[in-house]
Structure 1
Amino acid sequence: MNDLLELTVEYENRTLTFPLEMYRYGYTHRMKVIMEEVTVIFEPDEEGKYRAIIEDLDPGKIPSKGLLAVISDTLSSL
């Protein structure tokens, strides 16, 4: 069963809220965040932080590295 949540982060003096879907992936889990037109998958890495996997490789749609880092840090702190 997938859990549908909202993820709120602070980035560049703005509060941003994104839909978040958490689901099992083998023996671990992944979190799908929909950011405008781009779906970004976050999965735990070996250090206990989250890495981003971007499904849509259109360079014009890729979110900023700073925003991805803020989301990763927020997920790690949960």
Structure 2
Amino acid sequence: MENDFLLPVTFQGKEREFPVRFLNYGYSSKLEVEIDGTKILFEPDEERNWRALISYEDLVANKNISRELLEAVAGVIEEITK
């Protein structure tokens, strides 16, 4: 997998692309996805499902980032990492 790439996500009937950076931390890896200027980390949980890590302040500051959008991004990440 490349270190930097664009992630295509279909959300609410619209195709969007988000810049992604692959981060490797020893035995684990994370993806840093930039959504509307906010960098959000995605990491696999204990069951190998991808979850978003975003601070409450960032979530409140950027109203365009909804739970549904984060779930859509996580779903695409899951598809490409299987």
TM-score, length-scaled by structure 1:
0.89
| 1:5 counterpart residue number | 5
- Trace 1:35-54 onto structure 2 (pairs within 5 A): 35-54=35-54
Residue equivalent to 2:76: 74
Q: Which amino acid aligns with 2:46?
A: E
- Unaligned runs of 5+ residues in structure 1 are none
Secondary structure of 1:47's counterpart equals coil
Q: Which runs of 4+ in 1 moved over 4 A?
A: none
Residue 61 (structure 2) pairs with residue 60 (structure 1): yes
- Contact 1:39–1:55 at 8 Å: present in 2 too? no
Q: Among the aligned pairs, what percent are the same residue?
A: 27
Helix, strand or coil at the partner of 1:46: coil
1:26 Cα deviation from its structure 2 partner: 2.9
Q: How many residues align?
A: 77
Moved more, 42-51 or 53-62: 53-62
User: Which protein is richer in strand relative to its size?
Assistant: 1
CA-to-partner distance for each residue in 1:21-51, whole Å, 9 max, x for gaps? Answer: 0110231100000011211000011111111
RMSD: 1.7
TM-score (norm 2): 0.85
1:56 Cα deviation after fit: 6.9
What runs of 5+ residues in structure 2 fail to find an aligned partner? none
